[in-house]
Structure 1
Amino acid sequence: MKNIKLEKVFIAGGYGMIGSAIARQIREHFPAVELVIAGRNPAKGAKLIEQLGGAHPAFIDLTGAEVPEHAANAQLIIAAVPDPKNLLAEFAIKNNIAFINITQATGDTILPLLNFTQRYRPTQPVVPLGYYEAGLFLPLVSLLAADFSVIDSVQLSALHDPADPLGELSSSELGNELAPALIRDSGSWTHSSTPRDITLQNGEVIQGVPFSILDTTAVAAITSANSVRLDIAAGTSMGMHQHGKPSIDLYVDIAGTDNAGEHVRKRVIASDPRGQAHMTAFGVLTVIKAMLDSEKGGLVAAEMLLDMAAALQQMKDAGIAISRE
């Protein structure tokens, strides 16, 4: 997207909890951008559109076959809700429009995009952003990995607070039986449902369950670790303990040989006091900024786009607390 001015952004699901947070982040950082807030019930976005200014509603049904005209002259299309037919993705690729989908989180969902981009060869980036909090684990891993010469294992943990509206939804999902998740265990790729004990910042021990998402394979590639997994858990967040307001907390634990030759375990924690919807939206914003500075086109993984040091600084500037143990 380098040298392309971002003038219009089309957001499918733009008035939902995460979609509206994405719209607000874009408006805050790109005040002149025209926003199209699309969904099956555009009237639900009326209040948001009024608040945003420079925004318009549009109808879209992603189970149908039509993409609104509003999308055709956008520089960026964002799918903030599932797109089962890849309707927006295929439209964006065919029309060489930059694209982000925050719900595509497995290899099975990405493979059709790979084939489609191979066919049409878009020069604009197509980013499957189904990473936890839209990729914000990645800068944390990069920060901690710099301390190691050899990394044996990486454990990623996401703590959802039931007092957070999205955390409540995530916590309820943990009550259901999740499908076995893709993990790397002693060098082998396998699927597991085995829970793991997670020691929180305050010493409390809770159980997390493995979750299939793009972070696992991305972190394995970044670190060359023989063991990588991401677990989700529900519990009282750092923000709730410290300030009485729920936060979303991300934990990264790395074990290996440090640059002095010692075998060590190290941890970094990121806590967003504004909750999960804000953190996810901020992750999307971070990727948009990286897209604008990149000359990469076609299917691009988030870890190939992000300047990790810049993303980490942006997180800190946004009020996301980052601490090391």
Structure 2
Amino acid sequence: MGLDLKADVALLTAALLDIESVSGNEKALADAVEAALADCSHLRVTRDGDSLIARTELGRAERVILAGHLDTVPLPHTPGSRGTVPSQWDADPESPAALLYGRGATDMKGGVAVQLALAASLTDPVRDISFVFYDHEEVQAELSGLGRLARNYPELLRADFGILLEPTDGVVEGGCNGTMRFEARTSGLAAHSARAWMGHNAIHELAPILQRLAEYQPQTVEVEGLEYRESLNAVKINGGIAGNVIPDQAVVEINYRFAPDKTIEQAEAVVLELLKGFDVVRTDAAPGARPGLDQPAAKAFVDAVGGAPKPKFGWTDVARLGQLGIPAVNFGPGDALLAHSDNEHVSGQAIRDCLAALTRWLS
């Protein structure tokens, strides 16, 4: 059964959740989105891999991008978790208090459902709209479907303003922190664990690296009136080949979330200085985005939806839109603190409220 873009947007969200779309496995969902958009004769649809762009072409004075990613992080392993696939409601979906559980409920199938509902309903918007649905957001930056679209179809991504429908609890969030990953490696000498004195334990050599990370005090940086909290953490450790062998190699993966006042080079220098003397290599990086709320289009949007703007602590593709010269903000349903959790859920009413706010602004 296909997606019904005219259905209640909360029920549409549940239908999206029921199509598993972990990064690398977005094809089934992209197929369903493409089939549903085919019924929207007022849109010109372009597909590239598992990403799609659907555009109105009404000759309006202003064009806005509404963007969202189709993929999710892997499904939870915790027994009894409700943040999985298929989706689950905790009450009658029509109840304003009903919560929808499932992987991607917060990040960001609610936002994608709002995009699709708007794509179907807004046949005569006051601004031309480019609806962008893309794959591979939850993995390495070089795999990003949005990045691929920017390379392959730059002319279709030109716009005056962008809105990324990442979860913000219905509040405008300006800019975003940047993110980068590192690997710090240590070497030792393999030996039988019964004769450990004959070897040198590479995992133990990680201890001073972990100590420096544990003692580091992340900054809070004010950028254009918004306060961005940074974080620097070990996120994964690998080492050892067997339970009776002293490991001769070990690696700790490190993630640094940095405020948008820093370039990638400046942020990298912070980590390399902290871990001076160790073998540290940057493996991935994506710049942050300054808020840009002083731009006319951003100010008009904030005035239309109301509320006091906040900073976005997580990295989002507003940074990628910013690199394309498009001022952009985050605005979508759901609490970002629930993203990627085993308890991931979104309020059906929050999805409806987001749709109503964007409909008012675009109608």
- Specify the TM-score bucket, using the shorter chain as the normaliser: under 0.3
TM-score when normalising by structure 2: 0.25
Higher strand share: 1
**What TM-score comes out, normalization by structure 1 length?**
0.27
* Larger helix fraction of residues: 1
Higher relative contact order (CA 8 A, sep 6+): 2
Higher-Rg member (1/2): 2
